[in-house]
Amino acid sequence: MTQRLHELRRSLLVSLWFMLLTFPIMVIRVNTITGTIRWRWSNLALIGIGSFVISVVWRYAMQRKTGEVRATGVFAQVGARVGAGAEKVRTVLDSPKVRVRLVSGLLAAAVAYPFLTSMYHTNIMITALTYVVLGLGLNIIIGLGGMLHIGYAAFYAIGAYSYALLNMYFGINFWLALPIGAALAGLFSLLIGLPTLRLRGDYLAIVTLAFAEITRLVLQNWQQVTGGAAGIPNIPRPQLFGMTMRLHQTTTFVYFIMLAVVILTIFVVHRLENSRIGRQWVAMKEDYIACQAMGVSIAKAKLTALGIGAVWGGLVGVIFAARTTFINPASFTVWESVIILSTVVLGGMGSIPGVFVGALVLMLLPEYLRPFAQYRMLIFGALLVTMMVFRPGGFIKKRRKAYTITEAEKQSVIEAGAEADEDTEE
């Protein structure tokens, strides 16, 4: 009991501290033109109560994390239920039969979606799927390779501008631009990766950030070629055998292109993560020194992750340009990169379902919760911090593939071992 009182007192102090800390910015609002001050005392109350509640929860969660307290009573029961439930869901999902059903169900729903909803919703879904691909691409670099990249939007920009410019100057069509945009993005990524190869990982973060800013600034200032801040209008929509399509048909068409790209991405990333190269990436992420010592070339592993990861940004960049028919540098700021990063981190670094769900949730929620739209970035920021403190693995934590070993195989291995023993004894 005294323990609990003590905790509450600490939280009260925290709350007072935050009231003091946020006072000038939260409470005072000066109108410099009229020379009047608005004292927003209600904000002070809000901070006081809010930080008290958050502090109570935070402290409790922290003690749970460090194992200082165990959940008791209702909490324990709820916790145990949720835990058991999650485990059950996991085992059910792990069975191949359920998986096939789930995936085919999802696929059917995805195919039916544009025909069941309006163009408005289809457009929102296209955006969400775009972020799924961006997230999966970045996931290769950060979730598998363990390299913090905060300039991913630059690849998106490179893809978009590749199509816009190649089309404007050389009349190259959408389908040809797709692979070109993807390849250019991959190539650029390798180029930025090169100078950081010898350096510790965190330099990559700042170099990628710098590179993304350079890209944006060049696009913005190279007026003659890129149209500068005004951007490039009238980019042709994707064509299908020269058919003329009406707007809503094009939207549906783009939706299916996006869906195909999502499926392709998931397929490729899934194959890669359980291959030799995927193992190299994960090993590099977990301990790059041991990884080198085990005979893996870090330079090669880094470059492949950077290159393959960036390709997806370029790919959807082309689709983005074709879909909006207008692009300008403002779409590719650093915060765009941070949003993509948030989807990966929240969903679960390294986990395909995690990134998939993370991107869908983070992109769809703000669309449908308009009143919260202005708090979006604030909440993302807070989520990134809380996530790192309490659940660095994200909502859906990646589990490594278990290799199923049948009894027969095990036996053959053991026999092979016995044979080898005999060989040496001879």
Partner 1 sequence: MNYFTEVVLSGLTRGSIYALIALGYTMVYGIIELINFAHGEIYMIGAFTALILASVLTIFGFNTIAILFLASIIAIVYSAMYGYTMEKVAYKPIRNSQRLSALISAIGMSMFLQNYVRIAQTSDFLPFPRIIPRFPWLSALPISMSSAQFMIFASTAVVMVLLTFLIKFTKIGKSMRAASQDKVMAKLLGVNVNKVISVTFIIGSATAALGGILISSYTGQINFYIGFLAGIKAFVAAVLGGIGSIPGAVLGSFVLGLTESLGAGYISSDYEDVFAFIILAVILIVKPAGILGKGQIEKV
Partner 2 sequence: MVLDVQKLTMDFGGLRAVDHVDLHIQHGEIVALIGPNGAGKTTFFNCVTGMYKPTGGEIKAGRPEAEIQSIKGLKPHIITKHGLARTFQNIRLFPEMTVLENVMIGRDCRLKSGIIGAIFRDPRTRAEEAQVVKDSLLILDKIGLAQWANEAAMNLPYGAQRRLEIARALATEPFLLLLDEPAAGMNPHETRQLVELIRRLRDEENLSIFLIEHDMSLVMNLSERIYVMDYGKLIASGKPEEVKKDPVVIKAYLGEDVSA
Helix (H) or strand (E) holding 30: strand 28-31
Instruction: Please pick, from the candidates 71, 199, 264, 420, the single residue that binds partner 1 as defined by CB under 8 A.
Output: 199
Interior/surface letters 4-18, b for 16+ CB within 10 angstroms, e for the rest: eeebeeebeebbeeb
Binding of residue 286 to partner 2 (CB under 8 A): yes
Binding of residue 384 to partner 1 (CB under 8 A): yes
Instruction: Please pick, from the candidates 19, 129, 142, 282, the single residue that binds partner 1 as defined by CB under 8 A.
Output: 142
Count how many residues are written for the chain.
Answer: 426
> What DSSP state is assigned to residue 274?
T
Binding of residue 402 to partner 2 (CB under 8 A): yes
Query: Applying CB under 8 A, which part among 22-30, 85-93, 130-138, 364-372 lies near partner 1?
Result: 22-30
Q: Which residue number, 120 or 203, has a Cβ lying nearer to partner 1?
A: 203
Q: Which residue number, 201 or 366, has a Cβ lying nearer to partner 2?
A: 201
Least CB distance to partner 2 at residue 229 (A): 38
Binding of residue 289 to partner 2 (CB under 8 A): yes
Instruction: Please pick, from the candidates 338, 357, 360, 363, the single residue that binds partner 1 as defined by CB under 8 A.
Output: 338
Q: Which residue number, 104 or 223, has a Cβ lying nearer to partner 1?
A: 223
Q: Which residue number, 322 or 345, has a Cβ lying nearer to partner 1?
A: 345
- Look up residue 265 and give its amino acid: T
Instruction: Please pick, from the candidates 135, 146, 186, 231, the single residue that binds partner 1 as defined by CB under 8 A.
Output: 146
Three-state DSSP class for residue 29: strand
Distance CA 133, CA 308 (A): 13
Tokens of 343: 């989807």
Q: Which residue number, 121 or 376, has a Cβ lying nearer to partner 1?
A: 376
Tokens of 345: 């981190």
At residue 413, φ and ψ (nearest 5 deg) are -65, -45
Query: Applying CB under 8 A, which part among 38-46, 158-166, 333-341, 402-410 lies near partner 2?
Result: 402-410
User: Of 90, 423, 140, which Cα lies nearest the Cα of 275?
Assistant: 140
Least CB distance to partner 1 at residue 292 (A): 10
Instruction: Please pick, from the candidates 45, 210, 299, 418, the single residue that binds partner 1 as defined by CB under 8 A.
Output: 210
Q: Which residue number, 37 or 84, has a Cβ lying nearer to partner 1?
A: 37
Q: Is 224 exposed, middle or buried (0-12, 13-18, 19+ CB in 10 A)?
A: exposed
Instruction: Select the binding partner of residue 24 from partner 2, partner 1, none (C-beta < 5 to 8 A, by kind).
Output: partner 1
- Residue given tokens 């490179």 in the structure block: 158
Instruction: Please pick, from the candidates 98, 217, 294, 413, the single residue that binds partner 1 as defined by CB under 8 A.
Output: 217
- Residue given tokens 């499926």 in the structure block: 263
Instruction: Please pick, from the candidates 206, 260, 264, 416, the single residue that binds partner 1 as defined by CB under 8 A.
Output: 206
Instruction: Select the binding partner of residue 259 from partner 2, partner 1, none (C-beta < 5 to 8 A, by kind).
Output: none
# of chain residues touching partner 1 (CB under 8 A): 60
Contact between residue 177 and residue 167 where contact means Cβ atoms under 8 Å apart: yes
Q: Which residue number, 57 or 420, has a Cβ lying nearer to partner 2?
A: 420
The two beta strands, 36-39 and 28-31, are antiparallel
Distance CA 163, CA 319 (A): 9
283 Cβ neighbours under 8 A, 6+ residues apart: 290, 291, 294, 296
Tokens of 45: 């109350």
413 Cβ neighbours under 8 A, 6+ residues apart: none
Least CB distance to partner 1 at residue 404 (A): 30
> What DSSP state is assigned to residue 140?
I
Q: Which of residues 297-326 bind partner 2 (CB under 8 A)?
A: 297-298, 304, 308
Would the CA dihedral through 192, 193, 195, 200 be positive or negative?
positive
Instruction: Select the binding partner of residue 414 from partner 2, partner 1, none (C-beta < 5 to 8 A, by kind).
Output: partner 2
User: Of 138, 161, 419, which Cα lies nearest the Cα of 305?
Assistant: 138
Contact between residue 310 and residue 145 where contact means Cβ atoms under 8 Å apart: no
- Residue given tokens 């510790």 in the structure block: 200
Binding of residue 277 to partner 2 (CB under 8 A): yes
Site for partner 1, rule CB under 8 A? 17-18, 20-22, 24-26, 28-30, 32, 35-37, 43, 62, 142, 146, 148, 150, 195-196, 198-203, 205-207, 209-211, 213-214, 217-218, 221, 289, 334-335, 338, 341, 345, 374-375, 377-378, 380-385, 387-389, 392
Contacts to partner 2 by CB under 8 A: 268, 271-272, 275-280, 282-283, 286-287, 289-298, 304, 308, 398, 400-403, 405, 409-410, 412-414, 416-417, 420-421, 424
